[in-house]
Chain A
Amino acid sequence: MMKWLDERLHVSKLMDSLFDHPVPKNSNLLDYLGFATLFVFINQALTGILLATVYKPSAAEAYASIKAIQGSVTGEYVRSLHSWGANFMVVLIVLHLLRVFYEGSYKKPRELTWVMGGVLLIGTIGLAFTGYLLPWDQVGYWATTVGTAMAAYVPGIGNFLLRVMRDGVQVSGATLTRFYSMHMLVLPVIILLAFLPHIFFVLRQGMAVTDKLTQAKERGEDVESKSIPFWPNVALWMILVVLVIAIALWALAGLYPVGLGDPADALNKNKFIPEPAWYFFGIYQMLKYFPGNLDALAMIGLPLIAMIVLFGLPWFDHNPNKSPRKRPVALSVAGILVVGMVFLTYQGMSSVPKAIATTGVVDHPSYAKNIDPIFQSKCVTCHGKSGNYSVQNYDSTIKNVVPGNPAGSKLMTRIDGTQKPQMPMGLEPLSNDQIQTIKNWIQDGAKNN
C-alpha cells in the first residue's frame, strides 16, 4: 500500500520531512498539550455536528429543541460533552500557550506558528461566546446582551458595532441567526484556516524540543543513542496523554451533565441577574475596580493591548535565549499576569449570587460559616466595592450593626423591611430562615467567628 502511494506521490519523502525529527528520550508530557487541544476540538466538531442535526436555530424553537435534546440520555450526554468540551478547549489552549511561552518556543524560527496559535485562541473564545447564546436560555441571552454591550464602548463606532453584532438594537431572533452562522460556519472555517499552517509548521520544523538533536544530527553527530523516533514511540505517549484527557472529559460530562436554565426572556420578568461564562470572570471582576469613566479603557483598551502583545510577542521580545532561566523579565511579567488573572477569575466567580443551601434557621450562627455566605451571594453585587455600605467583609459589615440588638441595627431593619426600602432593593427579599439566622447572629453579639 505504502509502496503504491510512494510510486505515485513520493509519500515517504514527504512523511520523512514531517515526522523524522529526532525526539530527546526524556521529553515532557506538557509538550503534548497542543495535541490534546486538537483532540478536544475534534470532540467539539463531532458533538457539534450531532447537535446541529436536531437544533432549530430560531428564537421561537431553539429552546424547545434543546429541551428535546435534553430529553434523551444520549442527547443530554452529547450536549454535555459539547459544553464541557468548550471548557476543556479554553483551558487546554491557554495551558498550551503558557507552556510554549515558558519554553520560549515562539522565538525564531517559530514566530508564524505562534501567530497562527493566536488566531486559534481568538477563534476559540469567539466560538465559546457565540455558542453561549444558542440554547436561548436566560443565562445565554443576558450574558450575550452584556457581552455585546461592551462593544458599544469602542470610541466612535461603538453603537454601530453593537448593532452589527446583534443585527439590531437588542438581542433578538436576528442575533441568534447571526451567532448561529458565526458559530457553525465562520469561526470553524477561520480555525481550520489557521490550524492547517499551524500544524504544518510544527511538523515541518519539528517540536521545539527536537531542535538540539536536529542540529547535532546536521553536524554529522550520531544522535541515535540520545533520541527516540517520533513514530511510533513518541506518538504512543501523545495518544496516552490524550486518552487521560479524554477520560476526564467523558467522565465529567457524564457525572455533571449540563443543565438548561429558564427560557430566554428579553423582558427579564423574573429579575434574573446575568453572569458571564467562568473564563470571562477575570474581565468581569476587573471591571469592578475601574471607576465608571475608565470603563472604556478596561473593556476596549486592555483587550486591545493584550491582542497587540499576543501577536507582536515574537518581535517585541528581543532576548534570543529560550531557556526560562535566561528570561527573568519575560517570565516574571507573564507570571504576574497569570496569577492576577487566576485571582480575578476566582474572585469574580465567588462574588456572584448563587443558590446557597437552605440550612433552615441557625440558632447560633457563625459569621464565616452562616452569615458571610448570605451576604456574598445576595448583597455584595451592589454592597461590595461600590455603594455607601459594604458587606464584603466583617469590619465593614459591623458598621451598621449594634451587637446584641437586632431591632436597633440598620443592617437588620433594612433586610426585614421594617425600614424602607427593603433590601435587596428591587429583588426578592431574603428567605425568612436567612433573616432569622442573621437576627440570631446579631443577638449573639455579632461576633467575627
Chain B
Amino acid sequence: MTEDQNNNMPRRKFLKLGVGSIGAVFGLTYVSLLGDFLMPPEANAQTLQEVGKVADFKVGEPKFVSYKGSGVEEGLYVINQGSEGWLALDFHCTHLQCAVNWVPATQQFICPCHGGVYDIKGNVLDGPPPKPLPRRVIKVEDNSVQVGGITA
C-alpha cells in the first residue's frame, strides 16, 4: 500500500508528460505545414520576356512597358542609353513604393507621394527615398528587348 502511494507521483508525472508530448506532436505537425504555405515564391525568379523591339526605344527616353504578371499587369521603365547600354528600372519608389512618373521636362523620375526625385538612371536626387530605383535584368538579343527580375 505505502509502496503504491510512493510510486503514485512519478506515475502521474509520466502520464502528464505523455499527454503534453502527444499534444505537442499535434501542434507541431500543423505548425510545420504552415511554414511552407506562408513562404513567398522566390524573389525575382521571372524568366526573361520580350517587351519590345530595339526600334521601339528612343535613345535617352525612358519608356514604360508592361506585361502580364500574377493576376495584375506588371510594368517597368526601359531606357535605351545608346552607347552606355540598356537599363531597366522598377517604377516603385524606394521610399514607400508609390508609382514614380517620368517627367521629360526635367529628365527626372518624380514620386507624387512624398516628393522623391530620381535621375534617368534611378539615382536619388531629392526627397526621402533611401536608395536608387531597383534595377531589373535586361537583355537585348538580336532585335528583341527582354526583361527579367530585380538585380539589386
Contacts and interface: CB of A to CB of B under 8 A. Distances in A.
B73 A427 contact: no
Q: How large is the interface on B (under 10, 10 to 19, 20 to 34, 35 or more residues)?
A: 35 or more
B48 interface: no
Given A58-B71, A266-B72, A267-B64, 10 more contacts: A146-B97, A171-B72, A172-B72, A174-B71, A267-B74, A293-B130, A381-B115, A382-B112, A387-B126, A426-B110
A149 B69 CA distance: 19
Interface in A402-447: 420-422, 424-427
Nearest to A267: B75
B99 A267 contact: yes
A173 B110 contact: no
A273 B128 contact: no
B130 A164 contact: no
B106 interface: yes
B106 A271 contact: no
A273 B113 contact: yes
9 closest A-B pairs by CB = A173-B71, A59-B71, A421-B105, A426-B101, A382-B115, A268-B99, A266-B72, A163-B40, A149-B97
A146 B38 CA distance: 21
Contacts of B115: 381-383, 386-387
Contacts, number: 118
A264 interface: yes
Contacts of A163: 40, 43
B23 interface: no
Interface in A39-66: 58-60
A274 interface: yes
A146 B41 CA distance: 20
A58 B70 CA distance: 11
Contacts of A293: 130
A370 interface: no
Nearest to B107: A421
B101 A169 contact: no
Interface of B: 38-41, 43-44, 64, 66, 69-75, 91-92, 95-99, 101-103, 105-106, 110, 112-115, 126-130, 149-150
Q: How large is the interface on A (under 10, 10 to 19, 20 to 34, 35 or more residues)?
A: 35 or more
Given A169-B150, A386-B114, A271 B101 contact: yes
Given A163-B40, A172-B72, A173-B71, A267 B106 contact: no
Contacts of A273: 98, 112-113
B128 A386 contact: yes
A150 interface: yes
Nearest to A273: B112
Nearest to B75: A267
Given A264-B72, A382-B115, A170 B128 contact: no
Nearest to B98: A274
Contact of A288 (B73, B114, B129): B114
A292 B38 contact: no
Interface in A173-190: 173-174, 176
Nearest to A382: B115
A168 B40 contact: yes
Contact of A172 (B71, B95, B101): B71
B51 to A, nearest CB: 13
Interface in A340-388: 381-383, 386-387
